[in-house]
Amino acid sequence: METLFIIKPDAVGKGVAALITKRIQEKGFRIIDSKTLKLSEQEAGEFYSIHKGKPFYDELVDFMTSGEIVVLRLEREDAVRYLREVVGATNPSNANPGTIRKDFGTSVCTNAVHASDSDENAKREIAFFFKK
């Protein structure tokens, strides 16, 4: 089973991408593929199209295009559910101790990482970054 993981511009900018990647590997995820890139406004809009029209959409696209991101295609048993557990709640202040967002996120927008929220979205998101 596979899932998609993104280390966002806040975490990459702080220089903690390698540390976060190490944590993910220690949790038993295997890295199938990875790339570092900067999203265009159009690409970020396409990736987050399900959030179009929401009050935080413009802030989200601005943030996600503000710097480089690291995208990881990950494999593990129960990958989608378990990665979300390791990542923690969307808002870092609600995230459990020891989760990535608790340790590296600073706001509901600048929350350090993204993880696919369903098997269906994992497939779509992996195709978006790795099968074009």
Q: Which residues bind ligand CMP (CB under 6 A)?
A: 51, 56, 59-60, 90, 108-109, 111, 114
Question: What minimum distance in Å lies between the beta carbon of 4 and ligand CMP?
Answer: 11
Question: What minimum distance in Å lies between the beta carbon of 89 and ligand CMP?
Answer: 10
Q: Cβ(103)–Cβ(38) under 8 Å?
A: no
Q: Is 130 exposed, middle or buried (0-12, 13-18, 19+ CB in 10 A)?
A: middle
> 10 Å Cβ neighbour count for 94?
12
Is 51 catalytic? The answer is no
Question: What minimum distance in Å lies between the beta carbon of 63 and ligand CMP?
Answer: 7
Q: Cβ(61)–Cβ(45) under 8 Å?
A: yes
Distances (CA, A) of 77 to 21, 88, 95: 18, 18, 23
Catalytic residue selected from 114, 122, 126, 129: 114
Write out the catalytic residue numbers: 114
